[in-house]
């Protein structure tokens, strides 16, 4: 069970941050990390840091855990990872990703999570070699078929057995191939439905 102070912090702070991760989903993510005492936690697709901060709260509770948030924070990279023209236009014209990155970094500072949260400004495909073993993985990067499948292909084999893998926007048509790739190696544990569908798996 998630400690009360972490649940309250997530419910209080996340609603004031940009992004789409719901407090309920963030609590589930934090609980997965605490349950398995995950020491190496990777968050692909930080945006303003909702999921990353929740992971950081769990890592601080454990003491010896690290969270690595990966995001290029560039409209070019973001739009390349979207199969939908409306989505591409939004990333290019409306999303101020420099401000969004500053918001994410500021959240780490404001919550004094620097010892536990490391932000990596890069495309996920360039840094997977940094993680020989992963004990918690949240996939919320590019949602195109190519990008989502690439993240699964590069990162899922590095997740240790009996560790959790979370997949965001798992009901999108463009992520279905990636979801099937995950289900070839993992068992479905939970489905969270809000504005979109998120799934939690456990690696076999």
- CB 39 within 8 Å of CB 135: yes
Query: Residue 54's domain spans which residues?
Result: 4-203
CATH of residue 141's domain is 3.40.50.150
Q: What is the pLDDT of residues 31-47, one digit of tens each?
A: 999 999 999 999 999 99
Could you give the number of structural domains in the chain? 1
Q: Using pLDDT thresholds of 50, 70 and 90, give the confidence band for residue 193.
A: confident
Q: What is the pLDDT of residues 67-117, one digit of tens each?
A: 999 999 987 766 555 566 656 666 666 668 899 999 999 999 999 999 999
Compute the average pLDDT of residues 12-24. 94
- CB 125 within 8 Å of CB 154: yes
Distance between terminal CA atoms of the chain? 23
pLDDT of residue 81: 56
DSSP codes, 105-132: HHHHHHTT-TTTEEEE-S-GGGTGGG-S
Compute the average pLDDT of residues 38-66. 98
The percent of residues in the chain predicted with pLDDT above 70, rounded, is: 91
pLDDT of residue 195: 75
Rounded (5°) CA angle 121-71-159 = 110
- CB 156 within 8 Å of CB 134: no
């Amino acid at each position: 069970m998630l400690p009360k102070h972490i649940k309250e912090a997530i419910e209080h702070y996340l609603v004031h941050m940009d992004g789409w991760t719901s407090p309920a989903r963030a609590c589930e993510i934090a609980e997965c990390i605490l349950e398995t005492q995950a020491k190496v936690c990777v968050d692909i697709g930080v945006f303003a840091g909702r999921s990353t901060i929740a992971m950081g709260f769990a890592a601080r509770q454990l003491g010896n855990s690290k969270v690595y948030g990966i995001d290029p924070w560039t409209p070019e990279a973001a739009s390349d990872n979207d199969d939908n023209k409306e989505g591409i236009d939004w990333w290019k014209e409306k999303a101020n990703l420099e401000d969004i990155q500053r918001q994410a970094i500021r959240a780490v500072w404001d919550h004094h999570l620097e010892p536990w949260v490391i932000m990596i400004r890069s495309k996920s495909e360039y840094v997977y070699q940094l993680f020989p073993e992963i004990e918690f993985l949240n996939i919320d990067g590019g949602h195109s078929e190519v990008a989502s499948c690439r993240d699964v292909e590069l990162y899922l084999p590095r997740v240790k057995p009996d560790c959790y893998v979370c997949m965001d926007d798992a009901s999108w048509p463009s992520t279905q191939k990636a979801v099937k790739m995950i289900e070839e190696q993992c068992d479905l544990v939970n489905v969270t439905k809000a504005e979109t569908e998120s799934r939690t798996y456990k690696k076999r």
